[in-house]
A and B are shown apart, each in its own frame.
Chain A
């Protein structure tokens, strides 16, 4: 009964709550909130979550503490969010891996075990080549790939079965090629792959353009395409796959905020509104642009749809590439 009346009150004063965040303090949250980061302190996910936490603290008037729960290739942290008390006082960040780990048979947890709150970031995959490569645009690159023997060309960007591996496999399938037509060279992340590309050890990389940024600036590599829905504001000259080749394949890494299932409506309302204001704030926009992270907003319903489509498309890409267990 109490909750219901509060909910009505909140709904009635929705406009006022949005305009004056101080009012939200009266209800939820009444104590500090823990935000779980499934990846290590100092990495990209950690940095994004920490800026979101510090801005949420300003919006909602309670401390938001980031806790890094690492290990198990992200399984440990993602599981910790699911297993938390669903009172809204423990939430966390979901990354693309949540739609991949269960296909690999590494966990039972899927996106359905969460209450999605908001999508905060999307970094599309790119195609990078060495500056001395003869391929000047993505069409030349695609022609060369089609003309090559299976396994002749080598690509990298992350470990076996990682996000960027699937980006490549999906793109090859979209071109009516076998998903392993270009051989994948597993690496410890994008930085060593970009270094090996510059050293001449690889033909192309399919990590995000942000991760290639330093090599692009140094004139060591060229980005030919982004596998996203639109061009990136920082690199307006790089075409999308749709524009350059009329292919519908998109792939990328994304980050969103979610809590365990069955969170109270009160907490959801407060967090969704707070996260929207965080996303729109100058601080967040400036931070993301300075780091080169892609901005993509999705509210609770939008994030839920995003999770569903990503889970399906990553699942089919993994099955096609022979990387799925289930």
Chain B
């Protein structure tokens, strides 16, 4: 309790409050620009933290990353261009809501449930950190392999198109993830002697290309869509409480998935969003409404990616293991400021720990008013003429892609993926599945090969290890369940026919 009060005193300092507010605005703007990610927002903050006090330095990173993850939903919802990979899972859904004239509702869901997810994730961080981290630490490459494979399975679940096309798009993503030298054998693959291809294809340029550039290309070909009726933008938070009461299960499940996936090092917010959106669809009573502008999946995935963000700090703080790229940067800053990660941080530096928790909660509360202001500003985009918006987006894509590595090749990649995404979309192949394949491909391969090296080529440990066995069973159930249902239906046609006739 004493630590809590001391911690509160630490964050009440004027420089900390100023740091939280400034980095909140900064995170919101960066996250909303396509191609500029939450990771990048935090990386660019590192030189600034040299000059800040330890608590203020950590506060900027926590706040900016939480804001960027939320505001990645904004362009996804308004223009069908996800601002960050964590938003890509449900971009189509929220854009469909915008087309139905429910933009404020969709964005409100993003804001309200992001804040709830962030706070739940923080509570998990506070209460469960030590015991959960213990479990996460027993995850070896065998377990990660199943986890990544489960992530890949989501491709067929999230897609609205035929599962065959979704799988084809996902395999295409896997092929792209094979490019480069960063594979277990360290051998260049599909590089054709091009130096720029050695490092492989990062998910960000691919994401910007298939969503943003392809969207601009579509806009060129299609007539201007019927304008969204000019009206005062409704209240953003109205109705969110009703949604909270209506969808308690997805909310709780999203939070749990987010917390668990976040704690596992290397999984992170992107994976949490994909898995929870797929889970929402799988377990929903109104599955057919998914993809047509239905809030249920948004509730779950919006909460999941923000709770994953908070819980990814658990292994970072306890063992110095980065849960994702953001915490990898944060660990560096913690060391620099003398807040060395490790169990001692919780005992010797208890007041700093409490300050850190309070910053998390504060950041998620600040998110509400600032997020509303950001949404109100950015919805001007909806009223602007398309001929003015699209060139600006194209410019932002090019600038964002270049900014990642100051490398012109990334801009070429964005253009190439734009064309690919456009063609895929035209022919009914879901581009989200392609992105998923690129994100997960390396993880699946890396963990599979290293596991085999460790077991001297034996497949047995994949199912023998206890946690690995459970994950394997889950994966096989997910694959076989639709087949079983199909077979059962075929075997009992007599009983099913009357119901079908009744329908």
The interface of chain A, by Cβ under 8 A from chain B, is: 40-44, 46-47, 50-51, 54, 66-73, 75-76, 79, 104, 106-107, 151, 154, 156, 159-162, 183, 185-188, 191-192, 194-196, 198-202, 213-215, 217-220, 287, 290-292, 323
CA distance A188 to B447 in the complex (A): 10
**Does A42 lie within 8 Å of B406, measured CB to CB?**
no
| A71-B409 CB under 8 A given contacts A106-B181, A106-B188, A192-B266 | yes
Q: How far is the CA of A6 from the CA of B344 in the complex (A)?
A: 56
What 1/0 flags go to B336-351 for Cβ under 8 Å of A?
A: 1110111110000000
Given contacts A50-B46, A106-B188, A160-B185, 8 further A-B contacts (CB under 8 A): A40-B405, A70-B199, A72-B196, A73-B198, A191-B322, A192-B265, A192-B266, A213-B320
Q: In this assembly, does B102 line the interface, its C-beta being within 8 Å of a C-beta of chain A?
A: no
Write the nearest CB–CB distance from A122 to chain B, whole angstroms. 18
Flag B114-155 by CB within 8 Å of A: 1 or 0 each.
000000000000000000000001111110000000000000
In the assembly, what is the distance between CA of A41 and CA of B141, in Å? 27
With A50-B47, A154-B454, A186-B450 known to touch, is A42 a contact of B405 (CB < 8 Å)? no
Asked if B321 lies at the interface with its beta carbon under 8 angstroms from chain A, I say yes
A217→B335 CA distance, assembly (Å): 12
Could you tell me if A202 and B199 are in contact, using CB atoms closer than 8 angstroms? no
Determine the chain B residues whose CB is within 8 A of the CB of A79 once the complex forms: 195
Query: B328 within 8 Å of A by Cβ?
Result: yes
* Chain B residues within 8 Å of A, Cβ to Cβ: 39-40, 42-44, 46-47, 50, 137-142, 180-182, 184-186, 188, 195-199, 265-266, 318-322, 325, 328-329, 331-332, 335-338, 340-344, 404-407, 409-410, 446, 449-450, 453-454, 456
Q: Which of A42, A67, A76, A106 contacts B328 (CB 8 A)?
A: A42
Q: Report how far A73 CA is from B194 CA in the complex, Å.
A: 12
Q: Which residue of B lies closest to A213 (CB)?
A: B320
Minimum CB–CB distance for A96 against chain B, Å: 15
Q: Which of B43, B335, B407 has a CB less than 8 Å from the CB of A71?
A: B407
Also in contact, A75 and B198, with CB within 8 A (given A40-B405, A199-B138): yes
**B405 touching A194 by the CB < 8 A rule?**
no
Chain B contacts of A192 at CB under 8 A?
265-266
What are 6 A-B pairs at a CB distance below 8 A?
A: A70-B407, A76-B195, A161-B186, A201-B140, A201-B141, A291-B332
Smallest CB separation, A324 vs chain B (Å): 12
| Residue pair B46, A42 in contact (C-beta under 8 Å) | yes
Within 8 Å by CB of A186, from B42, B43, B185, B197, lies B185
Q: Are A42 and B325 in contact (CB under 8 A)?
A: yes
Nearest A residue to B345 by beta-carbon distance? A217
How far is the CB of A274 from the nearest CB of chain B, in Å? 19
Q: Is the CB of A185 within 8 A of B404?
A: no
Within 8 Å CB of A50, what residues of B?
A: 46-47, 50
Report if A42-B42 is in contact (Cβ < 8 Å); known contacts: A161-B186, A218-B342.
Answer: yes
B137–A199 contact, CB under 8 A?
yes
CB pair B406–A67 under 8 Å, yes or no, is yes
A217 touching B344 in the complex, CB below 8 Å, given contacts A42-B39, A42-B43, A290-B335: yes
- A185-B453 contact in complex given A41-B43, A42-B42, A218-B342, C-beta closer than 8 Å: yes
Q: Are B338 and A290 in contact (CB under 8 A)?
A: yes
Contact present for B332 and A42 (CB under 8 Å): yes
Q: In the bound complex, do residue A199 and residue B139 qualify as a contact, i.e. CB atoms below 8 Å apart? A: yes
Partner of A72 from B199, B265, B344, B446 at Cβ < 8 Å: B199
Q: Which of B141, B186, B341, B450 contacts A214 (CB 8 A)?
A: B341
- Complex Cα–Cα for A217 and B331 (A): 14
Contacts of B180 in A (CB 8 A): 73
Contact A68 B405, beta carbon cutoff 8 Å: yes
Give the CA-CA distance A200 to B222 in the complex, in Å.
57
Contact A291 B186 (CB under 8 A): no
Q: Which chain A residue has the least Cβ–Cβ distance from B180? A: A73
Partner of B198, one of A72, A151, A201: A72
Task: Name which residue of chain B comes closest to A67, CB basis.
Answer: B406
Which residues of the partner chain B approach A201 to less than 8 Å between Cβ atoms? 140-142, 454
Q: Which residues of A contact B450 (CB under 8 A)?
A: 156, 185-187
Contact present for B405 and A69 (CB under 8 Å): yes
Are B140 and A196 in touch, CB under 8 angstroms? yes
A213 to chain B, nearest CB (A): 7
Contact partner of B405 among A76, A198, A215, CB < 8 A?
A76
Q: Is the CB of A106 within 8 A of B198?
A: yes
A154 to B451, CA, bound (A): 11
6 cross-chain pairs, A with B, having the tightest CB-CB distances, nearest first: A214-B320, A160-B186, A42-B43, A70-B405, A217-B342, A41-B43
Contact at A200–B140, with CB atoms within 8 Å?
A: yes
Given A186-B185, A199-B139, CB of A191 within 8 Å of CB of B405? no
**What's the least CB distance linking B161 to chain A, in Å?**
32
Cβ of B268 to closest chain A Cβ, rounded Å = 13
